[in-house]
Structure 1
Amino acid sequence: MEFQSPGFDGQTLSGRLLMGTASGSLCLDRRLIESHTLTVERVLDCASGQPLAFLVVDVQTPPRREEDLLLLAPGQWYGRDVAVPLFPQPATGQPGPDCVDVELSVHALDAAHIAKPRLRVTRAPAPTPESGAPPSKPGP
């Protein structure tokens, strides 16, 4: 399992989830549904190491069809872009944490917990006004 190009906007972990096998086969749902294939186990604040409360998401999906099944042979990889909500959108407009350590579990149809990756992700900086743009006028 590989998680490429991890991103974090203060609420959602995103990136490309790649799955493969070195030996034996791996049966996957090719839809790689986040709350089924990829689940969040723990979220920690980077600075303090303290656990953070996070969203537990369960999505209702259409029943799996035969064409959704994928059997990976050794040396094959399969993946797609995923977005895993960690925190709700704040009502106050305040951004989420700057940096989190996220522990995930990855599941196949024929095996639970095939991998338990841990990622450290930092919130992308807020966009700054382009240089040369006129400053905003102060309110009355």
Structure 2
Amino acid sequence: MQMTKPALVALLLATTACSSTSSDRQARAPTPKPLKGGIAEFSVTRYDGRFLEGRVLIGATVDTFTLDGRLPEWFAVSLEDVRECGKPELLDFWSIETFLPPPRPDELVTLRPGHWYGGNVSFPLLDRKKVNGVGAPCVEGNLVVRARGMGVAAKLPIRVARTDIR
């Protein structure tokens, strides 16, 4: 099929107009406002250089938000900016991929101001640079809680020393 120059120009203009219209619509989409008043507390039960385990408690003081009540690690609750205590370099860990089905309606937890929800969490921290994967005797970073579809609900700086060598 042979196209004339005017037809080709019209086709290019039409596809360009369609592209700019769709991206313009995306640019005008409202961005969610940051959540206010989310609180997180964390209590360590075990850190052996490979796995960090503990209990997280999440509360709301201002905004209401919804959590995946299963508290899946790296989705609803994650560790970010993990480094050896007192050092600026971020640690490099093996990532463990998990695929979860979406939560059922009965697994969603809505936290209103004054309400709390908690559960056990476990984070694999297998150091890529160590032969046996055992990491630093002390790590620090941020425990981040994400509200479903609303972004970060709470961020808590943590510092954890190994519990198996005292």
Q: What's the TM-score once normalised by structure 2's chain length? A: 0.66
* Structure 1 residue ranges (4+ consecutive) displaced by more than 4 angstroms after TM superposition: 88-94
Q: Confirm or deny that 1:113 pairs with 2:113.
A: no
Q: Confirm or deny that 1:19 pairs with 2:71.
A: no
Residue 49 of structure 1: CA displacement?
3.4
Cα separation, 2, equivalents of 1:94 and 1:78: 32
Cα separation, 2, equivalents of 1:119 and 1:69: 26
Gap regions ≥5 residues in structure 1:
128-140
Cα separation, 1, equivalents of 2:159 and 2:79: 13
Q: What's the TM-score once normalised by structure 1's chain length? A: 0.77
- 1:43 counterpart (70, 73, 82): 82
Residue 67 of structure 1: CA displacement?
0.9
**RMSD of the TM alignment (CA)?**
2.4
Q: Structure 1 89/123 Cα, relative in aligned 2: closer, same or farther at 3 Å?
A: farther
Map Cα deviations across residues 111-133 of structure 1 (whole Å, 9 max, x no partner). Answer: 21122212111112348xxxxxx
Structure 2 residue identity aligned to 1:113? V
Residue 34 of structure 1: CA displacement?
0.8
Alignment match, 1:104:
143
Instruction: Kindly report which structure 2 residues correspond to 1:76-91, keeping only aligned pairs within 5 A, or say none.
Output: 76-87=115-126
Residue 65 of structure 1: CA displacement?
1.0
Cα separation, 1, equivalents of 2:69 and 2:58: 10
Map Cα deviations across residues 58-100 of structure 1 (whole Å, 9 max, x no partner). Answer: 4111332111111112111101010011215998447321111
Identity of aligned residues (%): 34
Q: How many residues align?
A: 127
For the residue of structure 1 that corresponds to 2:75, the secondary structure is: helix
Cα separation, 1, equivalents of 2:151 and 2:94: 21
